[in-house]
Structure 1
Amino acid sequence: MIIQDDKKRLFTLQTRNTTYQLKADQNGVLLHTYYGPKVQGGDLSRLIRFADRGFSPNPNEVGNDRTYSLDTLPQEYSGSGAGDFRLSSLELELPDGSYVADLRYVDAKLQSGKYTLEGLPAFFGSDEDADTLVITMEDAAAHVRVELLYGVFEAYDLITRAVRIVNCGDKPVRLRRAASLCLDFPSADLDFITFDGGHVKERSLHRAHLRHGVQSVGSIRGISSHQHNPFVMLCEPGADEEHGTCYGAALLYSGNFEASVERCQFEDARLTLGIHPYHFCWTLEAGQAFTTPEAALLCSPNGFGQMSRQFHRAIRAHLLRDVWQNRRKPVLVNSWEAFYFDYDHERLLRFAKESAALGVELFVLDDGWFGHRDDDSSSLGDWWVNEKKLPGGLGALTAEINQLGMEFGLWVEPEMVSEDSCLYREHPDWVLNPSDRPCTRGRYQLVLDYTREEVRDYIFQALQKLLDNANVSYLKWDMNRALTQVWSAALPAERQGEVYHRFVLGVYDLLERVRQANPNTLIEGCSGGGGRFDMGMLYYTPQIWCSDNTDAIDRLSIQYGTSFAYPPSTMGAHVSVVPNEQTGRSVPMETRATVAMSGTFGYELDLGALPEQEKDMVVQQIQAYKESYDLIQTGDYYRLSAPTPDGAPTAWLHVSTDRRTALLCVVAGQTHAGPPFRQVKLRGLDPTLQYRLTGDDTPWPGDVLMQAGYPLPMLEEYHCLRLWLKAE
């Protein structure tokens, strides 16, 4: 709900549990007055105080009032060069060579439903689900208008923000920075939480108290990256899963981003989130507009868990466009770790028959089926079938797979090209690279220039020809290198600062075209695993391969960190071979399945090579997955304990929305001599109900399970426990 007081120019955004307020003051400065646990309202600008602060200048409107300074006021969208020396949201290069952005309030309007962003991902909502507030501001001297867009999803405590910047003058203006979100806090006594790592070790939680100065994470790799995720949190120092106020902020964007927080001189704090200014310079011709990516903001008065569950619900209901949303996703097997490039038609068919006999429902053919690709050094861009490997093409193979009762999936990497390819030999200028420089390779491949429509058209037509001739229900869309030598032959020198962003827009454009042309095909995102795991990509690919690291113990940490913003239904997770190919660790089959089932679930190994006992286990696991599918994919997720190196078990819980059914999962850590007795306190149950647990004839009261805990058995190293709880 949005409450507008035109007389006071006061706007209050009320959600189920939180309040967000902003106000245009007597000078037209848009103040941020409050964001936090729900309050009944009123004009909260009374919380703002004024004082004469040395070296904090005063705008012209206030004359000699030395107590009024942009440098000390909590602002809704900060400018630059006009007296606020904290983190800026907007930086302009104006025709006269000046770099000033100084915004003042113009007007506001309310709309039913959720605003949309052309060419960019965004949460969607109907008139019943969401409301929109549009605040218009302007820098009169620069002839620049800025529209601040707010979407309010009351039931989810979700507030979205985006910015539209318009050049209303008659000369070009250049954007040097255009953040999507600016959020000021009255106190800097906060912890900053980020999710960092690298390839095969993504999204580890890191928490640090704000120090003076600027702390930031981001990516200049052209993708959101394995190293840092475009989701961050700020919270009270004592906040945990169930207690304390915390704020989560995510950027719906799959390219370069920056999340910065500044602890300022007067012990307040400012958070900004948006496109990274590295090599960003966007020219706005007269009358043109630029729209920033959307930011999603959520406050929880009751700890991290509530924040995560609200994000999960909102993402599932208002971001994912999943062709299998209303039916169970099939259990898949992927050929990659089974064969890599070493296969032919007969070997694949044998693999599919053995998998189908165990209950697998979707066969995914990974890399190696196209061009003359027998390793990763050739053929990207040549999206036609290698008929030496697959006589009769994909149509023949998919027909045989379908006859086994299985659906068919296919791996592609459409944003890349190999130098050893027909496409590159015909169009060497179609890659990102200055013409007078040698190429920088990654995985023997170069990056196609997706800023160019003709490149996207070519790839779309090549992919669509494949999809038109084969019954493909699942497409794995991979991207296996960062961007370097980011220069486009299609743009003039003064517009090369637009290439990074135009590349992302091009990726989104092609993904949307493929989705529209193939409405019954699910696309799973991937970038060397989790290198592009962000809410922007989820809008086009409603599940993403969580990490190339399939070791179940490492996956505990990866999936734990991922879960703070992203629901289990979005996490691609498979059972793979042991010893694991990334870590060399051997983990029991039951544990590998338990971890993978808290994701989209599948297998990535040669099922036919398993001993008979493990084949029987596969049959049982698939049945267990089907029985728990609805609960895991649509229920509430509770982190009960974090993965630690000290041998303590990792535990999590899936709870149905009516709180009558739950599934407890526990994985033991390393074994040490003299282990302690351990218990785990459950969450999310109904304290008034009695729950019967798997294998226990005596029911447990819900309040006992949550307050006293459930006593865990002594588990062997890396073994697991998977218990159903059902209310009587």
Structure 2
Amino acid sequence: MTEIRMIKGEGHMAIIYDDRKKTFTLNTESTTYQMQVDRYGFLLHLYYGKLAEGCMDYVLTYYDRGFSGNPYEAGKDRTYSLDALPQEFPCRGNGDFRAAALTVRNADGTYCCDMRYRSHVIVKGKYDLPGLPAVYGTEQEAQTLEITMEDSASGLQAVLLYGVLPELDIITRSVRIVNAGEKKVYIENIQSACLDLLSGNYDVISFYGRHAMERNFQRIPVPHGSFRIGSRRGTSSHQYSPFMILADKNATEDAGSCYAMNFVYSGGFSGEAEKDQFNQTRMMMGLQDELFSYPAAPGETFQAPEVILSYTDKGLNRLSQHMHRCIRTHVCRGKYRDAVRPVLVNSWEAAYFDFTGETIRKLAEDAKECGIDMVVMDDGWFGSRDGDFSGLGDWHVNEEKLGGTLRDLIRQINDMGIKFGIWIEPEMVNEDSDLYRAHPDWVLSVPGRKPVRARYQLVLDFSRKEVVDALFEQICKILDQGNIEYVKWDMNRSLSDVYSAGTEEQGRVLYDYVLGVYDFLERLTARYPDLLIEGCSGGGGRFDAGMMYYTPQIWCSDNTDAVDRVKIQYGSSFGYPVSAVGAHVSASPNHQTGRRTPMYTRTVTAMAGTFGYELNLGALSGEEKKEIRQQTDLYRKYAPLIQNGTYYRLSNPYEDEIGAWAFVSEDRRKVLLNAVTLDVHGNMTVNYIKPKGLKEDAVYEDMSSGQRYCGAALMEAGIPLPAAACEYEAYQIYLEEV
């Protein structure tokens, strides 16, 4: 009998179970994902690619492979080996010597797990993950498949979760470990998604970086052996993004097969691409296994975070668009998910720690003159906080510094017609603080050793509920003091000295820490549903889909230099939507690089994000303030198109003389083209900007010059950019169908 569940999506079956062939088929509008329970109960991966029909177990081959083990049940059949077969959830200890998705240390000290199929259920709607962020979808938008696997010797179960969102061409994966046995075990390694591809010649695309230069694009051939990225820092990190692409060798922006994995998690992670001895490719993503050893007593459950998967044969641009739409509409939540964000100015680069209440009021007055919506008071408003050395953790207003109460300051700024926002860093503490003096055991610190400092601060132990509760209460007392409409949540160091006084099981601390952060944020968004929270970790140190579930925008990088930002935002665009990219116009010369760039160039670059300002407005001339007012008016005009339009990369800033990108409305009638000159030479050659996503048979008009273009010709020939009149010149062209 064939079990079928229907779901909306142009007549396709979202999830089909064929009892005769023991196959599970997951269909989206453009893709098919298929797996099969074989004769021994192993769950084998058959296919992920373009829409297909029928059973595809013909892709499996069986040969006698030297030094590849055989399950005991196979008897004398040496052609059956998990060391060569494609699997959905490979385990350590059952004869597969490749990278494993699950490693378990049993009560007797052995490392062995042998998961076999036991049952499955198919339900309407998208599963959720208690305590963790996840893609969401209604019964009309999504469907869930749960497959229960079991290790009969120990009673340990792995519930594989698959969410299918057909209209988005998205499949999600997660796994829940249930100890249905009688003895305690330890999970030493768990990867949420595994994709085994039997053939093909692939490149792996990843995004590396450092503080103030995140998400640099890297594309290399998948080597024999293993290519691995990850974070050991307790956060998703500046150094590697928890997002990877496996692309056919010939895949380009606009053609070719490619697969993406995007981890919905904000802590340490691992991403791996491995080519084995038979030229098969395995791609996995999940938790970082270093310092991870999670206990599961009888009856206990461990929930792994989620991975978002997508496939297309239409190139990297289309793959990115799948991710953008999924995160923007089915990960981000709340009032500001779809709303245009307020244009803000942050006090940090305007005053750093050296400000008073009068400084903030003056910044608000200048913001009003410039047409800016909101002023944000950054670090330095609390405790004895006049520098990095003290006060962090003492979340009470320094009224002497502000010259009055926070409530009065907020009211005065609101009376100007300006919104008010504030900076916090709840996860950190200075040793020179009342909080640390009262609770030194509340930090991550190894007994008997001096802690490792970073930015002169230590990390509060968010794996402990009493710590999270205490900090939540303090922050709520601040937010209740007035009409605070925005919070910048910062986190300015990596985690080290991983020891918690709250547990004897230190292998669980890093994971529980992230759950504590999520718990705090979930309670915060529930208590203040109209609050806009912007995530930050020294800029892009925790720029991931997990944080986007709570903070619909994240400060993309502490580096606000427009030229560097072109590259940083280019790399970010492969996995994350523009609506989540915190981007501001800053001073020239830039405070991080010393580079001088025109105001217009800084504006065009920052418009590829949430848009705001990071400079001292009081130091600007009247003419410059007038220019900013024109910029803010222009941004508001284009903001719906920028935030909700389809994003296209039009150049590679690592190779080309320009960085170029476009926003195209869903009906393809409106187009905003953007370009920044990155290199200027004598007697320059002409750079052409070639739009994508237009209607071939439509006529588009440049709304500034009146020039008209045929859609097909415009995409083929492009528009020549004028010769640069200065270094780093920018261009913006707005087209509408006529």
Shorter-chain TM-score tier: over 0.9
Q: Is the aligned partner of 1:32 residue 2:45?
A: yes
Q: Is the aligned partner of 1:629 residue 2:639?
A: yes
**Deviation of residue 295 (structure 1)?**
0.5
Partner of 1:7: 20
Partner of 1:311: 323
Q: Is the aligned partner of 1:555 residue 2:565?
A: yes
Q: Secondary structure at the match of 2:569?
A: helix
Partner of 1:81: 93
Output the CA distance in 2 between the equivalents of 1:677 and 1:268. 44
Output the CA distance in 2 between the equivalents of 1:35 and 1:326. 31
Partner of 2:288: 276
**Greater alpha carbon shift after TM alignment, 696-705 vs 337-346:** 696-705
Partner of 2:8: none
Alpha carbons 1:335, 1:366 under 8 Å: kept? yes
- Give identity over the alignment, percent: 49
Q: For 1:116, which of 128, 135, 138 is the aligned residue?
A: 128
Output the CA distance in 2 between the equivalents of 1:49 and 1:613. 72
Matching residue's letter, 1:541: T
TM-score where L is the length of structure 2 = 0.97
Matching residue's letter, 1:579: P
Q: Is the aligned partner of 1:595 residue 2:605?
A: yes
Q: Secondary structure at the match of 2:204?
A: strand
Q: Secondary structure at the match of 1:388?
A: helix
Matching residue's letter, 1:11: F
Aligned pairs for 1:165-204 (under 5 A) are: 165-187=177-199, 189-204=201-216
Q: After superposition, give the CA deviation of every residue in 1:95-141 in whole Å (9 maximum; x if it has no partner).
A: 12211111111111100000010000000000011000001111101
Partner of 2:34: 21
Q: After superposition, give the CA deviation of every residue in 1:677-699 in whole Å (9 maximum; x if it has no partner).
A: 22122100011110001333331
Q: Secondary structure at the match of 2:379?
A: coil
Q: Is the aligned partner of 1:424 residue 2:433?
A: no
Alpha carbons 2:334, 2:529 under 8 Å: kept? no
Q: Is the aligned partner of 1:525 residue 2:535?
A: yes
Gaps of 5+ in 2: 1-13
Q: For 2:141, which of 116, 125, 129 is the aligned residue?
A: 129
Alpha carbons 1:645, 1:669 under 8 Å: kept? no
Partner of 2:708: 699
Output the CA distance in 1 between the equivalents of 2:539 and 2:250. 33
**Deviation of residue 268 (structure 1)?**
0.3
Q: Is the aligned partner of 1:678 residue 2:687?
A: yes
Q: Secondary structure at the match of 1:203?
A: strand
Aligned pairs for 1:176-325 (under 5 A) are: 176-187=188-199, 189-325=201-337
Aligned pairs for 1:235-634 (under 5 A) are: 235-492=247-504, 495-634=505-644
Runs of 4+ in structure 1 off by over 4 angstroms are none
Gaps of 5+ in 1: none
Alpha carbons 1:250, 1:296 under 8 Å: kept? yes
Alpha carbons 1:143, 1:169 under 8 Å: kept? yes
Q: Secondary structure at the match of 1:641?
A: coil
**Greater alpha carbon shift after TM alignment, 604-613 vs 565-574:** 604-613
Output the CA distance in 2 between the equivalents of 1:356 and 1:680. 36
Alpha carbons 2:236, 2:268 under 8 Å: kept? yes
Alpha carbons 2:31, 2:51 under 8 Å: kept? yes
Output the CA distance in 2 between the equivalents of 1:187 and 1:215. 18
Matching residue's letter, 1:674: N
Partner of 1:157: 169
Q: Is the aligned partner of 1:663 residue 2:672?
A: yes
Matching residue's letter, 1:6: D
Alpha carbons 2:367, 2:374 under 8 Å: kept? no
Alpha carbons 1:18, 1:37 under 8 Å: kept? yes
Q: Secondary structure at the match of 2:557?
A: coil
Output the CA distance in 1 between the equivalents of 2:588 and 2:192. 44
Matching residue's letter, 1:515: T
Alpha carbons 2:293, 2:508 under 8 Å: kept? yes
Output the CA distance in 2 between the equivalents of 1:28 and 1:391. 71
Output the CA distance in 2 between the equivalents of 1:252 and 1:45. 31
Output the CA distance in 2 between the equivalents of 1:211 and 1:330. 46
Output the CA distance in 1 between the equivalents of 2:92 and 2:64. 21
Output the CA distance in 1 between the equivalents of 2:655 and 2:54. 49
Output the CA distance in 2 between the equivalents of 1:673 and 1:231. 39
Output the CA distance in 2 between the equivalents of 1:68 and 1:605. 65
Partner of 1:100: 112
Q: After superposition, give the CA deviation of every residue in 1:702-721 in whole Å (9 maximum; x if it has no partner).
A: 00111121122112320111
Output the CA distance in 2 between the equivalents of 1:256 and 1:565. 18
Matching residue's letter, 2:143: D
Output the CA distance in 2 between the equivalents of 1:350 and 1:211. 57
Partner of 1:141: 153
Alpha carbons 2:320, 2:574 under 8 Å: kept? yes
TM-score where L is the length of structure 1 = 0.99
Output the CA distance in 2 between the equivalents of 1:7 and 1:127. 27
Matching residue's letter, 1:137: M
**Greater alpha carbon shift after TM alignment, 628-637 vs 339-348:** 339-348
Output the CA distance in 1 between the equivalents of 2:470 and 2:293. 28
Output the CA distance in 1 between the equivalents of 2:683 and 2:527. 60
Describe the shift of the 1:30–1:382 C-alpha distance in structure 2 as closer, same or farther (beyond 3 A). Answer: same
Q: After superposition, give the CA deviation of every residue in 1:356-381 in whole Å (9 maximum; x if it has no partner).
A: 12111111000000001111111111
Output the CA distance in 1 between the equivalents of 2:346 and 2:394. 22
**Deviation of residue 325 (structure 1)?**
3.1
Alpha carbons 2:200, 2:248 under 8 Å: kept? no
**Deviation of residue 645 (structure 1)?**
6.3
Alpha carbons 2:135, 2:330 under 8 Å: kept? yes
Alpha carbons 1:355, 1:608 under 8 Å: kept? no
Partner of 2:659: 650
Aligned pairs for 1:63-82 (under 5 A) are: 63-82=75-94
Alpha carbons 2:601, 2:728 under 8 Å: kept? yes
Output the CA distance in 1 between the equivalents of 2:386 and 2:392. 11
**Deviation of residue 188 (structure 1)?**
5.1
Q: After superposition, give the CA deviation of every residue in 1:203-256 in whole Å (9 maximum; x if it has no partner).
A: 001010011101100000000000000000001011111010001101111111
Q: After superposition, give the CA deviation of every residue in 1:435-468 in whole Å (9 maximum; x if it has no partner).
A: 2111110000000000111111110010000111
Output the CA distance in 1 between the equivalents of 2:706 and 2:438. 71
**Deviation of residue 326 (structure 1)?**
4.4
Alpha carbons 2:704, 2:734 under 8 Å: kept? no
Output the CA distance in 2 between the equivalents of 1:178 and 1:541. 26
Output the CA distance in 2 between the equivalents of 1:384 and 1:356. 28
Q: Aligned-pair RMSD on alpha carbons?
A: 0.9
Output the CA distance in 2 between the equivalents of 1:353 and 1:677. 44
Matching residue's letter, 1:404: M
Matching residue's letter, 1:489: A
Q: Secondary structure at the match of 2:668?
A: coil
